[in-house]
Structures are given as C-alpha cells and as structure tokens.
Structure 1
Amino acid sequence: MFPLPLLLLLLLPYPSSAADFCVADFSGPTSPLGFSCKKESAVTASEFVFSGLGAAGNTNNIIKAAVTPAFAGQFAAVNGLGISAARLDLAPGGVVPLHTHPAASELLVVTQGVISAGFISSANTPYTATLRKGDAMVFPQGLLHYQVNAGGITAVAIVSFSSPSPGLQITDFALFANNISTPLIQKVTFLDAEQILKLKKVLGGSG
C-alpha cells in the first residue's frame, strides 16, 4: 500500500510538456506541417466552434456545386489535429468532377437528396454507389472520385477528412484551365484538338 503523501502525489494532475492542441496562428509562419500555434493563453472557447456549415453554398457556377470548407485555413482549431470537414451542396444537375485529395481520405454523409458517387482504385477498378439521406461513403486518400446530384432537388452532404488541409486537384481544371499546350494534351489524353480547345474555352484555358 502506498504511503499517504505518495498516494496524494499520484492523484495530482500530471504535468505535461506536450500541448493538447495547436490552434492556428494565421499571423505566424507556415510550414508543410501546418500553421504556427497560437499561445494557449490567447486561445478562447469560440475558436473550437465553427458555424459555417449550416448555410447553403452558392451553386450558381459551371458545375452547379458548392463546397463550404472547415479546413485549418477557415477553422483554426483543427490545425494539427488530423481532421477537418466541409459542406457539399449540389443543385439539380450539379456535379463535382473527378478529383483527388492528395493529403486525406474522405468520408461523405448525405443529409438531403440523392447523390451518385464513386472512386477509381489504383488498379483502375471503379467503385460506385447511389447514396440517399443517412448514407455514407468513404473515398481513400489520393484516389480519383466524384459526386453527382442524382435526384430532382438540391443534394447536401457533410464531408469529413483525415487531414486539416486535405488539398484538392480537379482533373478537368488541371488539364483545361491553364496554358498546357493543346498538342501536349492530345498526346497525354488521346483527345482530339477540337475537343480540347472546346474544353479550354469553357474552363478558361489557353494554348
């Protein structure tokens, strides 16, 4: 049995040199590991709350879709925690084209409407599903995936990621929204020049 003084010592909070969190300090330097940490004494409870996912995003765009992010750049408290979230709004006819998140896996939960979704494995095997309210689907890190509104009303989903900064690369925009030359795109995609130029015109590319 422990002597009383030792027992009392064991019951005291154990001091730790490790921080419990790293709320982003947007005024400090950044690194591949994320934002600098705000001093704990300057952190308030409100910084652990994000209220932006309750409002619909603006789907008045070419893909009829909107993503409202709660990444480290918008939600300082997720910095360094390995998680983040977003809201996805898909108007009727809306689509999130093939894209990847280089730094995170994704979990999507439908809260309204119907979404057709899927991803393509590194073995080029497609995995597709039709998701309704309450359904969830996971998209492994780095794999091409998509979401399409498959119903007659606006579809809504809440998405979580395994990184505070998941990254995003949309295939169509990577190919046709910049100045990569048309002959080069022909070689790497097997598309004809007429189709490439049409897509560049739609997405703002040149070359």
Structure 2
Amino acid sequence: MKGVQFLLSLAVLALATSIASASDPSPLQDFCVAVDDLFSGLNVPRDTNNPVGSNVTQLNVDKIPGLNTLGITLARIDYAPFGQNPPHTHPRGSEIVVVAKGTLYVGFVSSNQDENRLFTKVLNEGDVFVFPMGMIHFQFNPRHIPAIAFAGLSSQNAGTITIANSVFGSDPSINPDVLAKAFQVDKNVIDKLQKQFWYDNNN
C-alpha cells in the first residue's frame, strides 16, 4: 500500500511540476489584421520644451490595434539637454532601452524586501539597459546636447505611473496629512507640491 501511495504522490508532483513550468498561454488570436495599423514619423524628434525636458512617444495597442495579444510596445524617448524621463513604473511590463544618440544616466530601485537598492549605469550610444517590471526607474540626460532612446516593453499596454504626478497631482488630491506623515515633512511642503502643475511627458 505504501508503494502505491508513493507512486501516486510522485505522479501528482510530476503533474504539478509540468503545470508550473508551462510557458505563457498562446495569444487569443494568431494575428490581428488591421489595415490602418501604421505609425509614421518615429524618426522625427519630438518637442522636449516642457518642465521635465523629455517626450515619450509610446506605440502601444491604443495607437496600433494590431498589437492586440502580441505583448509588445515600442517607444521613442527624446531628451533635451539635462532633460529626464522622471521616476515612473510600468505595472504590466518590463522594459529594455537602447540609447540611439547621446548619453543617459539610468537606474531603477529594487523593492522594499530588497532594501530599496539603487542600480544605475551611464549609457552611451548603442548601450542597452533593462528595467524589471514594476520597479521605479528613470533616465536622465547629463549632457549639453539632446539624447534619443528607443524602448521595448513586454506588454501591449504596460501602463505608466509617474511617481510625482500620481502622489502629488492626483484628482482629487490625497489628504495632505497622509502625505506629510508618509514623507516625514511639514504639511506646508506637501501643500506647495500639490498646488503645482505636474507635466505628463507621455504621448
């Protein structure tokens, strides 16, 4: 009887292992034929004359319906001299970025469980960096000349949450007492931050 129980346990374990190591499910469709699926002009520099000094042109499923179920997004990021793509996160996708022109200082912060470690690199033309899904990350142009990067994301709509915009520019506003306690600053600092305009550089 013990032998039968052992074999049954082994069979259940093998089945659980095969289910756990299965790959992502197949797309719901083989492909999406969208006759008007064309975005032209990704080679054209975008306006970076704004408070953060950058402009993100994101080509996700909202702009190219043919990306539906394909799990990819492409973005062009233009940076003014000393411009930045401010700290933000993509809750539904990892990101890989390649510098096409100029230099970028990039980084991400690990989770609380990993003691919020900061990982940074200085990237030059042709260099590549990866931002894991959900991690707060940023890019900054440290030079006097414009920079350009292209990014791929592992989702048809990875989402973007710009940290400062979300925390200080929410509508309606988060109770300033909550934020003053969370950031351990005087409530007047929070009031000032909540009153300013928070620019969204994502198009």
Could you say which TM-score interval applies, normalised by the shorter chain? 0.7 to 0.9
Note the C-alpha offset of 1:62.
Answer: 1.2
Q: Which residue of 2 aligns with 1:119?
A: 108
Note the C-alpha offset of 1:155.
Answer: 0.8
Provide, for residues 102-137 of structure 1, a one-character-per-residue CA deviation record: whole Å limited to 9, x for no partner: 000000000011110000111111110001110010
- Which of the residues 170, 177, 191 maps onto 2:185? 191
Aligned residue type for 1:130: V
Is 1:158–2:150 an aligned residue pair? yes
Equivalent residue of 1:61, what SS? coil
Q: Which residue of 2 aligns with 1:202?
A: 196
Equivalent residue of 2:75, what SS? strand
- Which of the residues 169, 177, 181 maps onto 2:175? 181
Q: Which residue of 2 aligns with 1:56?
A: 45
Q: Which residue of 2 aligns with 1:92?
A: 81
Note the C-alpha offset of 1:148.
Answer: 0.6
Q: Which residue of 1 aligns with 2:54?
A: 65
Q: Which residue of 1 aligns with 2:14?
A: none
Rounded Cα–Cα distance in structure 1 between residues aligned with 2:190 and 2:44:
36
TM-score, scaled to structure 2 = 0.77
- Name structure 1 gaps, 5 residues minimum: 1-17, 23-39
User: Is 1:176–1:203's contact at 8 Å kept on the other side of the alignment?
Assistant: no
Percent identical among aligned pairs is 37
Rounded Cα–Cα distance in structure 2 between residues aligned with 1:77 and 1:201:
40
TM-score, scaled to structure 1 = 0.75
Q: Which has the higher strand share?
A: 1
Note the C-alpha offset of 1:184.
Answer: 1.1
Q: Which residue of 2 aligns with 1:109?
A: 98
Provide, for residues 13-54 of structure 1, a one-character-per-residue CA deviation record: whole Å limited to 9, x for no partner: xxxxx74213xxxxxxxxxxxxxxxxx5xx43x62x432421
- Which of the residues 138, 141, 146 maps onto 1:146? 138
Aligned residue type for 1:72: V
Any runs of at least 4 consecutive aligned residues in structure 1 with deviations exceeding 6 A, and if so which? none
The alignment of Structure 1 onto Structure 2 pairs a total of residues equal to 166
Provide, for residues 154-184 of structure 1, a one-character-per-residue CA deviation record: whole Å limited to 9, x for no partner: 1100010000101010110111112112111
Rounded Cα–Cα distance in structure 2 between residues aligned with 1:136 and 1:100:
18
Q: Which residue of 2 aligns with 1:79?
A: 68
Rounded Cα–Cα distance in structure 2 between residues aligned with 1:61 and 1:20:
41
User: Is 2:78–2:149's contact at 8 Å kept on the other side of the alignment?
Assistant: yes
User: Is 1:93–1:148's contact at 8 Å kept on the other side of the alignment?
Assistant: yes
Provide, for residues 75-95 of structure 1, a one-character-per-residue CA deviation record: whole Å limited to 9, x for no partner: 122111011101001101211
Aligned residue type for 1:189: F
